[in-house]
Amino acid sequence: MKTYFKNIWLGVYTVLLGMKITLVHLFAKNVTVQYPNKHPLEKASGDKMPPNARNRLFVDMELCNGCTNCARACPVNCITVETFKAVPGDAPPLKTGEKRGLWVPSFTIDFAKCCFCSLCTEPCPTEAIKMTTEFEYSVYDRQELKYQFAKMKPELIKEKKELYASYQAEKAKKDAEAKKAAEAKKAEEGKVEEGK
């Protein structure tokens, strides 16, 4: 009989204990921000995004030298970089003052694939690619998540490619002339030796 009343008391006690916890949390202050009705980083709250936050990537094309280290380091292949060689002295220098050896007509990052691991920022020798604190960029169409950072116009790309092709042709012509002159000189030296 004693255990019967003890079990009844334990049943009532556990219900009351659960109700106490429920009532405490029912009237407690909310800690959840009701996003998007209230922005979590509003100036009134005083909160800021941590500076080491890993959100959307940004590429400074004036620093990018087209090395494609970021594309090779990306584990999900979301970075696509296209480059072509520049004629010596034709390309403007990088922001750092270094010579630019490559033109970068296309630098695309597909944020639908990006896992925000920050592995692409580490191997960049010029620190052109970096993580930002921007996190609101949702769209309805997945194609809009492909961000193109390069700003070269198609006309300029065509012009620079033609300039490089003519430079290569001129260089090949000079090399052929130099080779022909060297062979002629060698043949002339051979004739002189035969005449002795």
Q: Where are the domains of the chain?
A: 57-155
Query: What would the pLDDT profile of 94-131 be if each residue is shown by its tens digit?
Result: 888 888 888 899 999 999 999 999 999 999 999 999 99
In terms of CATH architecture, what is 57-155?
Answer: 2-Layer Sandwich (3.30)
pLDDT recorded at residue 41 = 64
Q: How confident is the model at residue 90 (pLDDT cuts 50, 70, 90)?
A: confident
Strand partners, 107: 81
Residue 148, SS3? strand
Residues 6+ apart with CB under 8 A from 148: 106, 107, 108
Query: What would the pLDDT profile of 132-186 be if each residue is shown by its tens digit?
Result: 888 888 889 999 999 999 988 989 888 888 888 888 888 888 888 888 888 887 7
Residue 107, SS3? strand
* CA dist list (Å): 117 to 75, 113, 129, 147: 9, 11, 13, 17
The answer to pTM > 0.75 is no
SS3 sequence of 6-28: HHHHHHHHHHHHHHHHHHHHHCC
Query: What would the pLDDT profile of 15-47 be if each residue is shown by its tens digit?
Result: 999 899 889 888 888 777 777 777 666 555 556
First to last CA, the chain: 135
